[in-house]
Amino acid sequence: MASLTKKKIWTAIIVVPPLIFLIAMGPPAVLILMVLLATYLGLREFYHLALPDSKRIERQVGMGLGLILAMIVSLGNGEIISPFFVLLLLVLSILFMVTSTNLSSTISSMGIMFFGIFYVGFLLSHVSLIRNLADGKQWVLFLIATVWAADISAFLSGSLFGRHKLWPKISPNKTYEGLAGAIVGSVIVALPFAILFLPKLEKGLCIFLAIGLGFLGQVGDFTESMLKRSAHVKDSGSLIPGHGGMLDRLDSFLFSAPFLHYSLLYLFKEAP
């Protein structure tokens, strides 16, 4: 356990500063490329996890469609999303007509393929949409800092004070105390961040966003735990030493990023 924790810490020390530097100093295109790379790796892990016996062409088509959707959303091409949905269903239908040898499992395989495209490709691309808003760079860093604070606080508070299981059939180690810690930790980090880098953000609205991000980050974590438990695996992959796979690092952002984007767009009227 101690060696695993050390590996996590060293990996974070090596990986996190360059990522933050690229987001903070790079143009929007850099973040879009990072999101697309993470989308590809996340989709590859998802289909390996959820469709381990599928044909290679099926997984490749799913990853390709997910990347195309992520690119469309990231670039803000909303007018072609509806036609893409039609194309998506058409391609999946033809694909499984050609590749399916056991029709009794076709509908479940198509559903899983479709879910992966939206679960990873669509949800994660909202990070790019946040970057396209006014003060988008600061908002992306706000998202990362708040969600990571929630994750760390959930782990610490759950380890130290966790007594009451939250949802043991999905994640036996998660507790109500950990969830409370996640929300408190997100608020503790979000407030000083906003004071320093988003001075126009009112404290009440900042707390609202922090609570939403902290809570939905944990929902994302539970969702991936449910998928992993269904597949009987501990981690989605082994890409990141001490941290598992890409999906294990992305899960907390998959619902929190859309929440922040739509809150800024429709509640706070932030414009591109």
Round to whole Å and give the CA distance between 254 and 251: 5
pTM above 0.85, yes or no: yes
Is residue 197 within 8 A of residue 133, CB to CB? The reply is: no
Please state, as a whole number, how many other Cβ atoms lie within 10 Å of the Cβ of residue 91. Answer: 15
Report pLDDT for 77.
74
Please state, as a whole number, how many other Cβ atoms lie within 10 Å of the Cβ of residue 237. Answer: 19
pLDDT tens across the length of the chain (272 residues): 445 455 667 666 777 888 889 888 989 899 999 999 999 999 999 999 999 888 889 999 999 999 999 999 998 877 899 899 999 999 999 999 999 888 888 999 999 999 999 999 999 999 999 999 989 999 999 999 999 999 999 989 988 898 889 888 888 888 999 999 999 999 999 999 999 999 999 999 999 999 999 999 999 999 998 998 888 887 776 666 655 788 988 999 999 999 999 999 888 776 56
- DSSP-derived secondary structure for 23-74: HHHS-HHHHHHHHHHHHHHHHHHHHHHH-TTS-HHHHHHHHHHHHHHHHHHH
Q: Which of 254, 204, 258 is nearest to 38 (CA)?
A: 254
Report pLDDT for 167.
85
